[in-house]
Amino acid sequence: MLNKREAAALIGMDAGTLDALTAEGVIRAVPRGKRRAYTERDLRCFLLGEVAATPTHNRSKARATVVPKPQTYKFSERSHRARVGA
């Protein structure tokens, strides 16, 4: 993991340009507390023009599957249904 200055020096650009490309989603950054870090793999993909993994800040969150709640009965109603057979 590289910080912003190290990553910018590695790919030969200014740290401000790296910030702008990260904000646009061109280069992926990994959040590390209040700061961002960059992987060598993601920087290599940028330099080679390959498509890296989807940026974390643009990734849509998967919706939770809604599981229906099992029907509940009051204790007296449950015992009544057991006796009646319904």
39, pLDDT greater than 50: yes
Pick from 37, 53, 34, 43: which is nearest to 11 by CA?
43
Gap between the Cα atoms of 61 and 35, Å rounded? 22
Please report the pLDDT score of residue 75 as a whole number: 59
Percentage with pLDDT > 70 across the chain = 60
Gap between the Cα atoms of 16 and 2, Å rounded? 15
> Taking the model in full, what pTM does it have?
0.55
2-17 per-position pLDDT tens digit:
999 999 999 999 999 9
Gap between the Cα atoms of 3 and 37, Å rounded? 5
